[in-house]
Structure 1
Amino acid sequence: MAWTRYQLFLAGLMLVTGSINTLSAKWADNFVAKGCGGSKEHSFQHPFLQAVGMFLGEFSCLAAFYLLRCQASGLGESSANPPQTFNPLLFLPPALCDMTGTSIMYVALNMTSASSFQMLRGAVIIFTGLLSVAFLGRRLALSQWLGILATIAGLVVVGLADLLSKHDDQHKLSEVITGDLLIIMAQVIVAIQMVLEEKFVYKHNVHPLQAVGTEGLFGFVILSLLLVPMYYIPAGSFSGNPRGTLEDALDAFCQVGQQPLIVVALLGNIGSIAFFNFAGISVTKELSATTRMVLDSLRTVVIWALSLVLGWEAFHPLQILGFLILLTGTALYNGLHRPLLDLLSRSRDPAAEDEQERLLGGTRAPINSIS
């Protein structure tokens, strides 16, 4: 069945905003400007401040949630699906995980390319699968275990491509290795966050937009307050500011004053994360989780292609192989092979189609309903 214009709009919105999210963050990292007190020009390396901006974008999802709820109320749907009360503090643990994982990933983005950053984020499948078995009591299918193994192989190939592309520069090589390891470490934390979110969202029937917005509120407030002690904590080689501290928000604002385009990059990051979350949830509801996974994979291709065009990184053929293996692993884990197998079986035996429709007949309720 053909997609409607609204579904095409949602798919395009998810692809575009998801790509802008990573590209705008990397664009901000690439700027060089003077800081406070007439300090010499240096890169805009302020990962924790960027993470605060990302949480501000997530926080705005609460506004989208309440707008949708008002719309549903105006259509008379609120009485049929009354909102379930829950303690917002339930989302504090996943918010802390999100805050930690996101901050580490922004640190890592300064050390590696945007395409490798996006590809290595696929490691979350490995840890999500293992943690769901350990803490949610799930049993993974054979295809999911194969997907995890394929993802591990893909990560090895992508990491090897990074090493080979920087083998002639020892400083860059060590930086890339550190960045890749930080991304994978962050995916462990993100996997814990996802397991906690799934447990709380399904148990308390919380709408995903409300969950994202609540976590964004916690992350924005907590990380904003942490910027104060970070201003004084020495960070050594991990620091990208002249004072050598963990984060220097004042230096960031001074650099913005010297180079106003940094504001455009930061606003692109904040706005894109809000629209990306809304579009992703809507795609899952209007189309399917499989479609969302495919669009997320296309996002990696867009980020990779634009990074090459902009000259942010050099092409390495091993990245193609690594991406294809990662894509295979993601497809196996998310069950994308099943509709393909069904399609093949239908083409072989058309007479069985009517019987299958009778067995699987009926309407399917949307995953996410506006409450």
Structure 2
Amino acid sequence: MSSLANVHTCGLLEIILFILAILFGTGCSICSKTMMSLTGTNGTFEKDGSPHMESFQKPLFQTFGMFVGMLLGLVMHWIVLAFKLPFPGYEFGDAEAEDAEKGPTERTALKSKPSDVSKVDSTQIPTWMYFFLAIPAIFDLVATALCMMGLQYLDVSIYQMLRGSGIIFVALMKQHVLKEHLQTFHWVGVFWNVVSVVIVGATALLGAGGVDGGSTNVSASETFLGVCLMMAGAFVQALQFVFEEHVMKMDVPAPPLLLIGMEGFWGTVLSLVVMYPLAFFLPGTDHGSYEDPFNTWNMFLNSTNIQVAFVIYFFTIFFYNLLAVLVTFMLSSVWHAILDNFRPITVWVTDLFIFYHISPAFGEMWTQASYLQIVGMGVLIYGTAIYNAPNAGSVLLEGEWYSFGIDCSKEYEAIKREQEEAEADAAWEQKQQEFKVRKLSSFLESPRISVHTQALRGLGAQHH
């Protein structure tokens, strides 16, 4: 097989995982926004005896909470190993090893497949892997820090546009680092994803009247610094996505739950020993610090609403990260980036529902700029459907008006031929396995029949 048809089949399971990832990703974004708008007490009191209330704007705490939530992956990993539960990315070789000691049988021959040869028993994970998985945690922490530093110089709309452009870095690294060739229609799909992000960002800018994060008093040089920091953050985030895909497909792969759990473990450690000490000593508006962890902890202990919001955020962020990693495992790192590009639109739709059907105190109201956001949603779906080709439900670029004159018919035909060849190879291998089964299950292999009886039956057969 050549590298031409590096097209991942997007079946029903992959579609379900992608949709669930969107739902949980939307949920954790809403929870994150809600926590930022909450107020609570840190246990101190005003002169009149009333509790001192302040806003719970703690972005580093949410990053720390994300890593703590991901620790749940380790618990699930150990449960899957202990009970040998079926889960994507896990292989258990005990039963096959026992059967091999007993000799080949019809059951083991039917179970074995040529592709199973390269699979590694998930119970035999080397010790170095647990330390190796500190790398994606470092990427995640550095990307978050760079993006947050850039955000203070930029409007939120610009922030969202630059963060969404990370899909370009992911696609480039997938082709030049992972050495998986992307076809022309893949790049067209990536292009339309970027266009959709720009439209969504422009919508936010227009809807906010040009002021979305208080950057109007920022100089041109500071704005340029903010853009550089954001682009650097998007690049490091792309490194994380591509590394996660690579580490789950190595000769000794990391199972998805272990990847999530160890990323959470190392992220928690780095947050406690690096991120929070720096945030405490850097000057800022949180009681003199950039973010005061002691004040954060006191507010968490003394505010029930913050505790409830954090518990919801804890589970939504865990399941989002788990599902996002499964999307990377079963599809690719580019699909992970596409998933992140869907979130601004799904969050906006959810905010509209909250504003008009739950409480106007939260959510977002419809504006004239919202029509443009509908266009952005359509462009995003269009670009994703192009990237998904030639799977079912995709958009094929064959020179029609909606293809803007782009014709990728030869690429689709080449992919189809390679897929047919792969199916033919699989069918041939299956026939070989069936032939081995028939041979191994004959009377000659039965331990209940003596050698003399087998020989006599063989001689009798010759007279017929």
Range class of TM-score, shorter chain: 0.7 to 0.9
Q: Which runs of 5+ in 2 are unaligned?
A: 1-10, 47-51, 97-119, 356-361, 399-415, 428-464
After superposition, residues 37-52 of structure 1 pair within 5 angstroms as 41-52=53-64
Contact 2:342/2:380 (<8 A) preserved: no
SS of the aligned residue for 2:363 comes to coil
Contact 1:48/1:106 (<8 A) preserved: no
Match of 1:85 among 96, 116, 125: 125
Matched, 1:228 2:240: no
- Tell me which moved more, 65-74 or 87-96: 65-74
**What corresponds to 1:20 in structure 2?**
27
**What corresponds to 1:59 in structure 2?**
71
Q: Distance in 1 between matches of 2:364 and 2:85?
A: 49
**What corresponds to 2:261 in structure 1?**
213
**What corresponds to 1:350 in structure 2?**
none
* Residue-by-residue CA offset, 1:130-185 (whole Å, 9 max, x unaligned): 1223323332210121122222322222222222122264863549989x956655
Contact 1:36/1:250 (<8 A) preserved: no
The count of corresponding residues between Structure 1 and Structure 2 is: 343
Q: Cα gap change, 1:69/1:232 in structure 2, threshold over 3 Å: closer, same or farther? A: same
Q: Which has the larger radius of gyration?
A: 2
Contact 2:43/2:299 (<8 A) preserved: yes
Length-normalised TM-score, structure 2: 0.61
SS of the aligned residue for 1:360 comes to helix
**What corresponds to 2:349 in structure 1?**
305
Counterpart amino acid of residue 242 in structure 1 = H
The Cα shift of 1:12 comes to 7.2
**What corresponds to 2:178 in structure 1?**
136
Q: Cα gap change, 1:60/1:118 in structure 2, threshold over 3 Å: closer, same or farther? A: farther
The Cα shift of 1:18 comes to 2.5
Contact 1:154/1:326 (<8 A) preserved: yes
Length-normalised TM-score, structure 1: 0.74
Q: Cα gap change, 1:175/1:78 in structure 2, threshold over 3 Å: closer, same or farther? A: farther
- Please provide the CA RMSD for this pair: 4.3
Contact 2:136/2:263 (<8 A) preserved: yes
* Residue-by-residue CA offset, 1:37-71 (whole Å, 9 max, x unaligned): 55864421211121111001112101111111222
**What corresponds to 1:273 in structure 2?**
317
* Residue-by-residue CA offset, 1:66-90 (whole Å, 9 max, x unaligned): 111222179x944245234341222
The Cα shift of 1:36 comes to 6.6
The Cα shift of 1:344 comes to 12
Q: Distance in 2 between matches of 1:41 and 1:147?
A: 48
The Cα shift of 1:306 comes to 2.2
- Tell me which moved more, 212-221 or 267-276: 267-276
Counterpart amino acid of residue 139 in structure 2 = C
Counterpart amino acid of residue 31 in structure 1 = L
Contact 1:46/1:249 (<8 A) preserved: no
**What corresponds to 2:203 in structure 1?**
161
After superposition, residues 1-371 of structure 1 pair within 5 angstroms as 14-35=21-42, 41-72=53-84, 77-79=92-94, 80=96, 82-83=121-122, 84-86=124-126, 87=128, 88-104=130-146, 122-167=164-209, 169=211, 172=214, 174=216, 181=227, 185-203=232-250, 204-226=252-274, 227-235=276-284, 239=285, 241-243=286-288, 245-280=289-324, 301-308=345-352, 309-310=354-355, 311-315=362-366, 316=369, 317-333=371-387, 335-336=388-389, 338-340=391-393, 360=423
Q: Cα gap change, 1:175/1:193 in structure 2, threshold over 3 Å: closer, same or farther? A: farther
Q: Distance in 1 between matches of 2:257 and 2:203?
A: 37
The Cα shift of 1:207 comes to 0.7
Counterpart amino acid of residue 85 in structure 1 = I
Contact 1:36/1:251 (<8 A) preserved: no
Report which structure shows greater RCO (CA 8 Å, sep ≥6).
1
The Cα shift of 1:123 comes to 2.7
Which one has a larger percent helix, Structure 1 or Structure 2? 1
* Residue-by-residue CA offset, 1:262-289 (whole Å, 9 max, x unaligned): 111222222112223444566788x977
Contact 1:34/1:255 (<8 A) preserved: yes
Q: Cα gap change, 1:312/1:222 in structure 2, threshold over 3 Å: closer, same or farther? A: same
The Cα shift of 1:191 comes to 0.3
Q: Distance in 2 between matches of 1:152 and 1:73?
A: 39
Percent identical among aligned pairs is 24
Contact 1:122/1:326 (<8 A) preserved: no
Q: Which runs of 5+ in 1 are unaligned?
A: 346-352, 364-371
Counterpart amino acid of residue 65 in structure 1 = H
Counterpart amino acid of residue 351 in structure 2 = S
Contact 2:150/2:230 (<8 A) preserved: yes
Contact 1:11/1:279 (<8 A) preserved: yes
